[in-house]
Amino acid sequence: MGYVEQLISNTPGLVLWRQQLCAMRKHQASVIELLDARQSHPDWRRKELKSHHSRAFFHLYHHDRDCLEAILPPALKPLRQSKNWAVEDERLVLAITELDGAESMSLTVLAAKVRDKGHLIKQLDKLPLTKALLVKLGVK
């Protein structure tokens, strides 16, 4: 075995050829792995393919991104979760009514005490119950 390796090392171009063959095998194995995964799991998104087949994914990511893009499903826009303003409105009304001396506080102090996440100042139009309570208390 050592003699064969020595002959390969001494033959011009043979080491490079073996390295290229090894790289081609890895590339082909990665492509086949991802194509099989796409076929067996057509509902998977890019994230699932990446997490379940990370070796193949990252091999193609580093060596052949065009091939990777051709294999992966189309990218989807991330969906932002919409804020449930009714729940936040009820929480703020309850928190404000439980405060002692809320009518003598400024809006900023009141917001800090109820931990409003900036909603009392920036998003008050989306909180009708809270707005009505603040008007009733004379704060707004």
Q: Please state the φ and ψ torsions of residue 44, each to the nearest 5 degrees.
A: -70, 145
Q: Counting Cβ atoms within 10 Å, is residue 95 exposed (0-12), middle (13-18) or buried (19+)? A: middle
Distance CA 61, CA 74 (A): 16
116, 124 in Cβ contact below 8 A?
Answer: no
| pLDDT tens digits, one per residue of 13-25 | 888 998 999 999 9
| pLDDT tens digits, one per residue of 24-55 | 999 999 999 999 999 999 999 999 999 999 99
pTM equals 0.56
Q: How many residues does the chain have?
A: 140
The single residue listed with the structure tokens 């990777």 is: 68
Q: Which two tokens stand for residue 68?
A: 């990777």
